[in-house]
Structure 1
Amino acid sequence: MAVITQAEVHHLAVPQPHPIRSSYGSALDVLGVVVVRVTDTDGRVGEGWTTVIGGGGASVASFLSTELVPLVIGTDPARVRDLWQRMFMHSLSRGRKGVAMYAISAVDIAVWDLRARTANQPLHAHLGSVAPEVPVYGDGCWVSMSHDELRAAAEDYAARDFWGVKLKVGADLDDAVRRVEIVRDAVGPSGRVMVDANQRYDLLTTRRFAAAITDLDITWLEEPILADSIHDYGRLHGTIGVPIAAGENEYSRYGFRELLEHGAVDILQPDAHRMGGVTEFMRVLALADTWNIPVAPHTSWELHSQLVCCGTTALVVEYYDWLPEDFFAVRPQVTNGFVAVTQVPGTGVSIDPASFEKYQVAQ
């Protein structure tokens, strides 16, 4: 029986060529990437990672090195769910959300990558895929863009046959409505438009905004209010003319269960890099199958396309260009608005060795 003998932690920082600002004012000029590489007694390697927008990568890397790596050494990769539970319980009193779950996610993805590589299978086949490809929608239409830049970005995604286009909106409701109108015009009457408020509004403001964009045929309104206000999502859902999407800021299956029990959303948006890795993502995918709720994961189209294809309610994955093409040695490709599931053993995603040297943050 092969066991894990080594777990390396790497903290990378990838500068953004076009820094942007979110709906609530925070800047993204650097994307943190925290990578875990596990090696077993037979020399096989599995790689997992998480991304941290802006700062915070150092905290995740520290938690991994000091708290989780000792739990990983000596683990049988076949018992990945047992490892997940041990990491979760070890972190329970100081990290059921946030930094600890980012760290658990990176380890879990690495071990699943190792498992699938050991089986000489792509991860989606190892898990039991049901779809050969997944559609992609374009994100990156930031609130910090001018109206002309916004239109150009939306037109570019439409020209590439993406499933749809998502834009961010801010506190100025008149400007927010105008931005939605611009993207709707850019993609045409048959194009899909999604709107992300990044938790910027309260309940009453969301109702006003939703009323103003109802006639623009919006596919979903994403996180209009604070993610923790699940009761408000329950009050909102079904009372406005726009479907509600949420979940990128839930950190385990328990948060998704609450969203479903409160009847709070129309679309779930889990993020394997935040909410516990492959193990927890598959549990949420099973919940979505049970409740017949569409799943549209948050970011990381490279990995999520290989996971969401294992569920019967997969809707679409989200495309960002935060990481340059040469950051990866291997990753899936987007063609005509779709990602085909990879036939490469493991996750189908691996970081180029040169990136570790190029983007490594000094300890």
Structure 2
Amino acid sequence: MKVTGYRSLVTTHDWGRPVGDVNGIVQSGVTEVPILLLETDSGLTGVGLGQHTDIARVFPAVEGKDPRSVTAIYDAMLSQVFKSGHAGATFGAIAAVDMALWDLKAKMAGEPLWRTLGAADSFVPGYASGLCYGLSDSEFSSHYQSWADRGFSSAKIKGGSDLGRDIERLLTAREIMAANSPRPAMMLDVNESWNAKQAIRHLHEIEEKLDLTWIEEPVRRWDAEGLARVSASGRAAVASGENLTGLDQYAPLFAAGALDVVQAGSVWGITHFMRVAMAALSRNLPVSPVGFDANPIAHAAAALPNMIGIEVQDFGWPTGLNVDQRIENGGIMLGEAPGLGIEVDESALAAPADGWGVTGGPHRRARQAGLQLAVLNRKQS
């Protein structure tokens, strides 16, 4: 079998609620979902999800190759673009191809990817999330109650601009999750909106009120010294890494002892996640992938010895995608469909949301993020 071509499609995910974080909210609750279809001369098609605008730049390393050589092709794609860099949109394209190649490899074997990767169990433990920053207090409570009803006993909330609000929401979510555990795990994600000194002050105040499991992205993703200072200052673990592209970007954070929970972005592909997880394992660190449409990285997470929980953000799927998995019992139950278990019904795909991708985007970083010691009541721009 050889890879012969690709097609790019797009659909939307209607979350049924505003979604976002401190850097911006999509009020419509409708987000764009790019789809890459990797075609072969056998008629099998591989499915990859995620932005891949730079696909033409990496495809020469893939065309004509046997998809079973997925890790070799992954390195070939990196080599193809090494002179001008692999981060950003280019790494997204590599990731989408990587997902599609793993999908093909498992389909050729006639088995789900979790089995191809060596997992013994199709259940992946998770924690409740939901990009909840834009929800009202009542919507917030209702949202996390729906997770508790599905057996979840841990939750991550979005915060970063109002510490009092963050603490109240952590306490609210903890009370809800206590229905399933006497000690729910609680996490706070501030999406790089603080500086190190601000993070240390805020973390101390939070820890006076509750036992925080981890603080996520308290400072900028590349600030190894700042992340290490925050980690040393409190009881809570520091989690970060979802926006890092390649092991080379993790190296200074590992060297500084900056990470207690090693995260990887699902949008960066399966091979990247597995390599990050093995690097973390060699340092006796746990790994946790962040959430993404249809949870494709869950297949790899199921096979790793140091995976402590995957972020689960929604119960539904993007329009036109049939996904063989269930969200239940506090995690993801993967199915037996070959590959990623994602089928694309092209006749049912939805048009992209109006205004998606406009200048600045829906997650534009606030002008003074990370530049304050105290949060002031001023208009953000």
The answer to whether the superposition gives a TM-score over 0.5 is: yes
Question: Equivalent of 1:134, from 124, 127, 144?
Answer: 124
What residue is the counterpart of 1:53 in the other structure? none
1:11 and 2:13 aligned: no
Q: Give the 3-state SS of the residue equivalent to 2:34 in structure 1.
A: strand
Q: Give the 3-state SS of the residue equivalent to 1:310 in structure 2.
A: coil
Matches within 5 A, 1:324-339: 324=317, 327-339=320-332
Q: Counterpart amino acid of 1:271?
A: G
Q: Counterpart amino acid of 1:257?
A: A
Which one has the bigger helix percentage?
1
Matches within 5 A, 1:194-233: 194-215=187-208, 216-233=210-227
Matches within 5 A, 1:181-260: 181-188=171-178, 190-215=183-208, 216-260=210-254
Q: Alignment RMSD, CA only?
A: 2.3
Question: Equivalent of 1:271, from 265, 273, 290?
Answer: 265
Q: Please list the CA deviations of residues 276-302 of structure 1 after superposition, one character each: whole Å capped at 9, or x if unmatched.
A: x22222111211222221121100362
1:112 and 2:105 aligned: no
Q: Please list the CA deviations of residues 296-345 of structure 1 after superposition, one character each: whole Å capped at 9, or x if unmatched.
A: 11003622221111111111111112853754223211222232343222
1:137, CA displacement in angstroms?
1.4
Distance 2:130 2:47 in 1: 27
Distance 2:327 2:16 in 1: 21
Contact 2:154 2:184 in 1 (8 A): yes
Q: Counterpart amino acid of 1:88?
A: L
1:170, CA displacement in angstroms?
2.5
Taking a change above 3 Å as real, the CA distance of residues 351 and 269 of structure 1, as seen in their structure-2 partners, is farther
Taking a change above 3 Å as real, the CA distance of residues 18 and 335 of structure 1, as seen in their structure-2 partners, is closer
Contact 2:18 2:134 in 1 (8 A): no
Distance 1:355 1:224 in 2: 40
- Normalising to structure 2: TM-score of the pair? 0.84
Q: Counterpart amino acid of 2:213?
A: T
Distance 2:313 2:324 in 1: 14
Contact 2:31 2:352 in 1 (8 A): no
Distance 2:318 2:98 in 1: 24
Q: Give the 3-state SS of the residue equivalent to 2:287 in structure 1.
A: coil
What residue is the counterpart of 1:49 in the other structure? 49
What residue is the counterpart of 2:71 in the other structure? 81
What residue is the counterpart of 2:58 in the other structure? 68
Question: Equivalent of 2:283, from 291, 295, 313?
Answer: 291
1:33 and 2:44 aligned: no
Taking a change above 3 Å as real, the CA distance of residues 321 and 111 of structure 1, as seen in their structure-2 partners, is same
Taking a change above 3 Å as real, the CA distance of residues 75 and 360 of structure 1, as seen in their structure-2 partners, is farther
Distance 1:238 1:361 in 2: 43
Taking a change above 3 Å as real, the CA distance of residues 164 and 67 of structure 1, as seen in their structure-2 partners, is same
Q: Which of the pair has the greater relative contact order for Cα pairs under 8 Å at 6+ separation?
A: 2
1:344 and 2:337 aligned: yes
- Normalising to structure 1: TM-score of the pair? 0.88
Shifted more, 291-300 versus 153-162: the winner is 153-162
Question: Equivalent of 1:159, from 133, 146, 149?
Answer: 149
Distance 1:93 1:143 in 2: 39
Contact 2:222 2:253 in 1 (8 A): no
Aligned residues: 348
Q: Give the 3-state SS of the residue equivalent to 1:303 in structure 2.
A: coil
Q: Counterpart amino acid of 2:23?
A: Y
Taking a change above 3 Å as real, the CA distance of residues 19 and 144 of structure 1, as seen in their structure-2 partners, is closer
1:201, CA displacement in angstroms?
0.7
Q: Which runs of 5+ in 2 are unaligned?
A: 355-381
Q: Counterpart amino acid of 2:87?
A: K
Q: Counterpart amino acid of 1:34?
A: P
